[in-house]
Amino acid sequence: MKKYTLTVACPSTRGIVATVAGFLAEHGCNITDSSQFDDTETGRFFMRVSFVSEEGVGLEALRAGLAGPAEPFAMDYAIHDEAEKMKVVIMVSRFGHCLNDLLYRWRIGALPIEIVAVISNHMDYQKVVVNHDIPFHCIKVTRENKPQAEAQLMAVVEDSGAELVVLARYMQVLSDALCRKMSGRIINIHHSFLPSFKGANPYKQAFERGVKLIGATSHYVTADLDEGPIIEQDTVRVTHAQSPEDYVSLGRDVESQVLARAIHAHIHRRVFLNGNKTVVFPASPGSYASERMG
């Protein structure tokens, strides 16, 4: 039986859940997992439903059939086949811990994605990427050639059919125009948890302030640098006895975990943009299982 995911976002009103459940039941579908959130502040309703088509109704028929029931609610909805892997482009500079972590998770099936390209402004990870049979593109970026470099970047994204771009410690600022064009489709990992430690070397700033927690934030990229809607965050405890180098080492691990969790949420359609924030639903049962568990 085919497994599908339905996502719904619309103005909050009564009858939405009943309409969705009734539609699926009428079309021979069985709900296996469901999450919903009614934001009383914004007046928006969000819902994610996993279901199986027990009577063989196909994807296109389901999409077309829901159009009528969805119209009175002004639903923004989508139905996706859970077997289809999202196409992803990864971008990296000279810090490779996130890239290597993502490649490992992809290789064992813990991140069910299709990595269609890796883009870098340096050659450091060409061999690593090519050895995984993934296309590698080195696009140098300078102040003078930035528009041309971004055009090359977008050509890779569009030619590969990528639905998501992941900035795995890519140390170049993207233009406002590119951020707007790819809104909700670029995920970044920011090597800082507390907003007071932005910019260059946040771990050194944190060390100088004697913090007891350091961490990382993964968010969607917007024109406001490091201010996009947050998807995932985490922290690790440190003590007065540790050095700035310890902070960096501990930070590498938490950055890798936070970025992977954010990507996992996005590719499973669990993240909904809600103004400057996000709604992130829990993972469906079984979605963390890897093809290779060892």
pLDDT of 123 higher than 80 = yes
pLDDT of 22 higher than 80 = yes
Determine which of 159-163, 191-195, 220-224 has the lowest per-residue pLDDT on average.
Answer: 191-195
Mean pLDDT of 262-291: 94
| Active-site annotation holds for 226 | yes
Q: Which residues contact 205 (CB under 8 A, 6 or more apart)?
A: 196, 197
pLDDT of 179 higher than 60 = yes
Tell me what pLDDT residue 133 has. 98
pLDDT of 203 higher than 90 = no
The chain-wide mean pLDDT, for the chain, equals: 93
Q: Which of 33, 39, 226, 234 is catalytic?
A: 226
- Report DSSP letters for 218-230, one per residue: EEE--SSTT-SPE
Mean pLDDT of 89-115: 97
Alpha carbons 217 and 203: distance in angstroms, whole number: 13
Mean pLDDT of 83-109: 97
Tell me what pLDDT residue 195 has. 57
Determine which of 42-46, 81-85, 142-146 has the lowest per-residue pLDDT on average.
Answer: 142-146
Tell me what pLDDT residue 116 has. 98
Alpha carbons 60 and 44: distance in angstroms, whole number: 27
195 against 60, higher pLDDT: 60
Q: Which residues is 79 bridged to in the sheet? A: 6
pLDDT of 226 higher than 80 = no
pLDDT of 208 higher than 90 = no
